[in-house]
Structure 1
C-alpha cells in the first residue's frame, strides 16, 4: 500500500552521530537520556536512513538491556522509521541481526460494514466511520454523515462516545468540523448539519498500517460548502491522521489525532471566533452526567470553571459502565497548535435540561478568528491517553512532556 508522510506528531528519538554509525559485529547499541519512561510509557522512533549498517532494515531483533539481561521487545518499521515503546528504567537498547519473531500484541485494522476498526489483540478500541450513517427513522436525512470516530472504547470495552443524540443529532462521537466560517462574505456552517449550509464527508483512504506497536490510517475528508454556489463546492481539503498505540498494559492506550487542511478557494476561508468549531471535539456517553463525571485541566480548572479557559491538557473521566470504577480520556494539545495553550468548550452542569451531559472540545478559534489562506497548509496535533480507573496529575504532565519533547538517543560502541 502506498505510504505518505504520516502527519501525527510523535516523540522523535534523535540519533546523534559521533563518527560511529555501526559496530563490527552487526550490532547497533543505542542510549537515551530520556527519563520520562520511569513514570509513563510512550512511543519513540529511530530514523533508519541515518544509520549506516548492512543489517538494516530487515532481519533484525530489538533488545532492551535490563538488569536481568537483554529482553527482545516489539518494534514496527514504517516509512524507514523503527518504532518501539519506551518504558521502564532501562535506557539502553541493542539492534542485532536475527530472525524477528512476533513477541508483542497484534494491533490490527480492518474494514467492517462501513467502519474502519482499530483493535488490540482482537479487542476493538475505536472505529472510524467511512460509510454514510443515516439518522434514526423519522429524522431529516440532512443529518447523515461520514468521517467521524465512534465508538471510542475504554481499554476494557466501555463505550465512551455518542452519536446522534436527540438533543443534538449533528453530534458525531469524536470529530472536528468548523462552525461559523465565512466564504466570499457568506456564513457557512460545517457543524450544524440541520442548517443545510455545509458538511464534512469521507473521501478516500490515503494509507494504512498495522503491526505489533501501532495501527494507523490517513483519510481524506472533504468540507463541502452547500450554499455559496449553484452546486456544492469544495471549501477545505483535510488529511485526518489517526494512530492507535499499544502500551502493553490492560488499562491504557494512546490515540494520536492530527488534522492537516488547506483551502483551494482563491479568497480563502475565515474561521470566525466562536465557542464551538474545529480542533478536537467529543460528545461523551449518555451514562455520564453532572453527578458522575469530572474535569481537571493543566491549569487546575474543574467542570465548573474550565469552560472558556486555556489548557495544555485536560482529564475527562466518569463512572464506568458497571458502576464499579471510572474511566476516561486525557486530552493533550501540542504547542504548535493555533492558540496554544488551547481554549476549551466544556458543557456546564446545567446543560441539557439540567442533566449536565458531557461535551469536551479543544477549540482554537474560541477567542480569536483564523484566516485560512488559499493553498496554504495548516495543522493541528492532539494526543489522547484512554484509561481505566485513574490517571494522576504527574502522569498527565509526563504524558504531555513525552508528546512534545524530543529525547536524544545516541549510537555508542559495543
Structure 2
C-alpha cells in the first residue's frame, strides 16, 4: 500500500470510528437517541394524550430493531394506556388512600425536571432523566410523592443486536407509600414492553418455548419474543427482555401475551409493598433488539458484564 492509500485508509477508519457512536438530537416532545446517525429510540419527555386527563410521558417509543424497523406500539386500540417501553403500577397508595393508578394513567402525572446525556469512551450513550410523580389527590398535585431517576444505557449495535439497559431508581418523598400491581390473579405491573406481535410470534425462555397464559408464568431471568418482526414484518427478529436477578423480590414471574397486549416482568405482584421514605428502590432491566437469530450465550455474557458494571456504581 503506498503512502497516499495508507493516509486515505486511516482517514476513512477515523471517520467511521467517529460516526459509529451514540448521540442525541432534540425533537418536539422529546429526544431521539441515534447510532451513527440512525434513529434507535425516542424518549417522550413532554406529556401527550388522547384526552385532558390521561397524559403519558417518560417512556420510550418508537424503539427500533437494528435494521430500523419500529418494534414498539403506543396507544394501541386494544389497550390505549400501553406505551412502548414503560414501567407502571395500578396501585399507588399513601397510607390507606390510593392516590394514583400509573398503569391506567388515572390521577398520575410525571414531571420530568432534568435530562442529562453523556457519551462513554467507547461510544455508548448514557441518558439520565430526573422526574417527580404527582397526583391531584395529594396536595392538589402541587407536591411530589416520589422522585424517579432513570439511567438508560444505549449500546452501539454489535453484529445483529443492540442492548439498552435501564436502571430505575425510585425514592419515596412521603411516609406510607406503597406500590402494587393489578389487584387480581394476574398481578401485572412494573417493567413492560408493548411490542408489535406478528402472527408467527414465539415466546421463549432458557427452558424452551413458553405458552402464554392468563396468569403469570415462571420463566427465569429472561424471555425472548421473536417472529417476523424485522424488515417491517417480512424478516426474522425480536426482542429479549431481561430482569436482573438481583432485583428485589425477584420471583422470575412474567405476564406474557402472544397478541394484542404487552409483556411484563412482574414486580411486586398483586399485593402492594411498603417503601420507606428517602430509601431508594432500584430496579434493573435490559432489552436486546435483534434481527435474524439471537445467539443467547453471547448476548447473556454481554448483559451480565453490562449489569455488573452499571449496578456496582
Using the TM superposition, give the Cα deviation of residue 277 of structure 1 relative to its aligned residue in structure 2, in angstroms. 2.0
Structure 2 counterparts to residues 135-214 of structure 1, below 5 A:
135=50, 140-187=51-98, 188-193=100-105, 196-205=106-115, 207-210=116-119, 213-214=123-124
From 238, 256, 259, the equivalent of 2:168 is 259
From 85, 99, 108, the equivalent of 2:23 is 108
Please give the alpha-carbon distance, in whole angstroms, between the structure 1 residues aligned to 2:303 and 2:152: 18
From 282, 295, 303, the equivalent of 1:379 is 282
Mapped pair 1:389 → 2:300 = no
Using the TM superposition, give the Cα deviation of residue 115 of structure 1 relative to its aligned residue in structure 2, in angstroms. 2.1
Equivalent residues, number = 288
Runs of 4+ in 1 over 6 A off after TM superposition: none
TM-score normalised by the chain length of structure 2: 0.83
Over the residues paired in the alignment, what is the CA RMSD in angstroms? 2.5
Please give the alpha-carbon distance, in whole angstroms, between the structure 2 residues aligned to 1:254 and 1:393: 13
Alignment check: 8 A CA contact 2:188 2:267 kept:
no
| Partner SS state of residue 221, structure 1 | strand
Structure 2 counterparts to residues 8-407 of structure 1, below 5 A:
103=17, 105-135=20-50, 140-187=51-98, 188-193=100-105, 196-205=106-115, 207-210=116-119, 213-249=123-159, 251-265=160-174, 267-274=175-182, 275-278=187-190, 280-285=191-196, 288-289=197-198, 291-300=199-208, 302-304=210-212, 307-319=216-228, 320-347=230-257, 349=258, 356-366=259-269, 368-404=271-307
Aligned counterpart, 2:4: none
Q: Deviations over 1:332-362 (max 9, x none)?
A: 1112212225322223x4xxxxxx2241111
Q: Would you tell me which structure has more helix in proportion to its own residues?
A: 2
- Give structure 1 stretches of 5+ with no counterpart: 1-71, 73-99, 350-355, 407-414
Please give the alpha-carbon distance, in whole angstroms, between the structure 1 residues aligned to 2:189 and 2:142: 21
Using the TM superposition, give the Cα deviation of residue 157 of structure 1 relative to its aligned residue in structure 2, in angstroms. 0.8
TM-score normalised by the chain length of structure 1: 0.64
Using the TM superposition, give the Cα deviation of residue 142 of structure 1 relative to its aligned residue in structure 2, in angstroms. 1.5
- Give structure 2 stretches of 5+ with no counterpart: 1-9
Alignment check: 8 A CA contact 1:152 1:159 kept:
yes
Please give the alpha-carbon distance, in whole angstroms, between the structure 2 residues aligned to 1:403 and 1:103: 21
Structure ranking higher on relative contact order (CA contacts 8 Å, 6+ apart):
1
> Which has the higher Rg, Structure 1 or Structure 2?
1
